[in-house]
Structure 1
Amino acid sequence: MEDDQAASKTLHRTGTVWTASAHIITAVMGSGVLSLAWAVAQLGWILGPAAILLFSLLTNYTLHVACKRCRDPDTGQRSSTYMDAVRSTLGESRARLCGWVQYLNHFGLCIGYTIISATSMMAIKRSDCFHKSGSKNPCHMHNYPYMIAFGIAEIIFSQILDFHQLGWLFIVAAVMSVTYSTIVLGLGFAQVAENGKIMGSLTGISIVTVSPTQKVWKTFSALGDIAFAYSYSLVIIEIQDTIRSPSEFKTMKKASLISVTVATLFYMLCGCMGYAAFGDSTPGNLLTGFGLYNPSWLLDIANVATVILLVGAYQVYCQPLFAFIEKQAAERYPDWEFVTEEMEIPIPGFHPYNLNLFRLVWRTLFVITTTTISILLPYFNHVVGLFLAVGFWPLTIYFPVQMYIKRKKILKRSIKWFCLQVLSISCFIITIATAAGSIVGIFVDLKSY
């Protein structure tokens, strides 16, 4: 406990229910809501909403279990990262596996957020071009400059030291997520009213529109998109580590319930309303479905909100990876000044900025790498779906379940043990299926590209 108190003084943990909720909403309601209407369109009116609700309940339960394990029951020591929590319960080998999966997903999400932010920025520019030309100019353009612009912004924000200094950004991003979700929902209502009917069917996109094989792959990919929408398991312990002691678990439990409830409400409304508005023609990014027509100003606001949100969401997922690499470097090269030396840079009117050359170079190279890959693979739905499909089962299901079994000392072959294993195996099958669907989607995209 003394170590925990010392760490708290060093890190200045001041998080509350509301700051933790802002972190979670920024992580959960990233760009995932924009693809949910497409996912519901593949699954239909029965399976689509049911899948959203099921993943919501499943994620909330397993992450509740994971957060409860953030303190070692024997020493009382607090885990600062997901890897630490796994290490203290399941050992070093599984902690390393957890780290590889977790940080690969962080990397993939940063690529996905770069792609979708560029799409939103380009939509604003195209809308302006379209209206200035009086609908005569098709306004074709490349998304590369917008990805580069997003990358430059992330290089700047990435120099902020860690989670504990980014609370203001996450609060702004959380407000933006609610803003664009509300606009999308309103536009969906307006589109349904204009159509004069509710589009869609009970079983989703029909095999008249796509082949039976495509229907299967699109169904798997849709499940992956819904799993992606609840992907904040990657940073759940890191978010909890921002909360002041000693009631961090109770605070996190309340914050998780608030944020997941808000997210699920918007997911259900936006996903269903988008499908009701466009039916089988529902686009992968719902904002693009409303075209470049009026009210263009409202769509511009939604796209601006999306970009601001994704600036924050990018930081939610890259900061834990930054911290891990920098900690490893400091432990391996403790005498190398390039890695360890902090130089104070005075900033008039503000606290001095601590400049570390390794941090500056490594974080800048990371953002450049994600931006370059985004330019080479501009397929938001399937690329991000693949990364999240790979990470969903181990991070959201397997490790929390195994930690729960170990800490609670649940006997093998007991009814409770059997039920937990069935849950884990079922989600593993879903993960394999969604990964396969995403891979097929990427190959189809590559052909057209």
Structure 2
Amino acid sequence: MSITYSFNGLGLSIVKVAAGGEASGTSTTVSEAQRLWRIFQAIGDIAFAYTYSTVLIEIQDTLKSSPAENKTMKRASFEGISTTTIFYLLCGCVGYAAFGEHAPGDLLSGSGFYQPLWLLNVANVCVAIHLIGAYQVFAQPIFSFVETSCRQRWPEVKFVTTDHQITIPFLGGTSFHVNWFRLTWRSAYVAVTTVLAMLLPFFNVILSLIGAASFWPLTVYLPVEMYIARAKFPKFSVSSMCLQALSFICLLVSLVAAAGSVEGLIQSLKTYHPFKNEA
């Protein structure tokens, strides 16, 4: 799905640049301060693209041997990160060439392109399928944590711990198990997050803020610290110091991205209208 809509956005951007005869660039309508804040926010958007670590262990846990799960995941991570980097850099650079500083937050539905309509519809269907699937994957660790914690805290409450068997009529006795707490809690979670997404429709700003908040602690700090502990590097060895320096640089990146996201959120709130897209 991602490759399909990325190809569409990239192709349409190339066509727009070719039709205009030249690439767009910086303009005088944006001050230097605004340009700097937008760069910081863009860093947060990039960081969000690399927050796969939140589901890395969940995915690895579902793999079968052989080859070993860690070897499979290492190759998948390398290929996934490489593909993501190539596509997003191309889309970012060519999209900027097509629109300059007036590039919409979403090239496919943010007043960027209007024709051909069928191609845009295909791309947006791919976006919807991608995000629906991603929502499920990213929500699973949250669901698991809450449900496990509740079972441990209230083991005597049947509403929380008991699964009920429900038979589907006219399907030859086919049945499935339902836990009423799981059904209620997950439905409420989806409803609340959906309403919040509609109520605060600052697409790029929110993505940037989430990316800034999760990038350093989950994608950099924890993996680096676990690797240092597992490899048993001496405290002031070259390898340990290099990894710590990398972690510190990524911390600065997250702080800069967070600052840009907060400033962008403040600016968006000045023209905020509930349930209206402000991409």
Are 2:4 and 1:183 aligned?
Answer: no
Shift of 1:286: 1.2
Distance 2:172 2:108 in 1: 41
Aligned-residue RMSD, C-alpha: 1.8
Distance 1:350 1:209 in 2: 67
Cα distance 1:386–1:350, how it changes in 2: closer, same or farther (>3 A)?
A: farther
Match of 1:382 among 205, 216, 219: 205
Q: Normalization by structure 2: what TM-score? A: 0.91
Partner-residue secondary structure (3-state), 2:177 = strand
What whole-Å deviation, never above 9, does each CA across 1:307-351 have from its counterpart, x for those lacking one?
111110111111111011111111112221111111122232795
Cα distance 1:291–1:439, how it changes in 2: closer, same or farther (>3 A)?
A: closer
Match of 1:192 among 8, 13, 17: 17
Count of residue pairs the alignment pairs up:
269
Distance 1:216 1:198 in 2: 21
Distance 1:316 1:380 in 2: 20
Match of 2:277 in 1: none
Distance 1:297 1:190 in 2: 16
Partner-residue secondary structure (3-state), 1:344 = strand
Match of 2:45 in 1: 225
Distance 2:224 2:174 in 1: 44
Distance 2:229 2:113 in 1: 55
Shift of 1:258: 2.4
Q: Which amino acid aligns with 1:285?
A: D
Partner-residue secondary structure (3-state), 1:226 = helix
Distance 1:421 1:292 in 2: 44
Q: Which amino acid aligns with 1:278?
A: F
Are 2:96 and 1:275 aligned?
Answer: yes
| Structure 1 residues without counterparts, runs of 5 or longer | 1-175
Are 2:169 and 1:345 aligned?
Answer: no
* Structure 1 or 2: more helix by fraction: 1
Shift of 1:279: 1.8
Match of 2:276 in 1: none
Shift of 1:411: 1.0
Match of 1:242 in 2: 62
TM alignment of 1:63-74, pairs within 5 A: none
- Range with bigger deviation, 307-316 or 248-257: 248-257
Q: Normalization by structure 1: what TM-score? A: 0.57
TM alignment of 1:1-20, pairs within 5 A: none
Shift of 1:289: 5.2
Q: Which amino acid aligns with 1:217?
A: W
4+ runs deviating over 6 angstroms: none
Shift of 1:391: 1.2
Shift of 1:265: 2.4
Cα distance 1:351–1:420, how it changes in 2: closer, same or farther (>3 A)?
A: farther
Are 2:140 and 1:315 aligned?
Answer: no
Match of 1:15 in 2: none
Match of 1:411 in 2: 234
TM alignment of 1:349-428, pairs within 5 A: 352-428=175-251
Are 2:121 and 1:300 aligned?
Answer: yes
TM alignment of 1:15-164, pairs within 5 A: none
Match of 2:31 among 207, 211, 216: 211
Distance 1:429 1:350 in 2: 59
What whole-Å deviation, never above 9, does each CA across 1:210-241 have from its counterpart, x for those lacking one?
22221221111111111111111111111111
Contact 2:103 2:112 in 1 (8 A): no
Partner-residue secondary structure (3-state), 1:287 = coil
What whole-Å deviation, never above 9, does each CA across 1:141-194 have from its counterpart, x for those lacking one?
xxxxxxxxxxxxxxxxxxxxxxxxxxxxxxxxxxx2222112112211211221
Shift of 1:291: 4.6
| Structure 2 residues without counterparts, runs of 5 or longer | 273-279
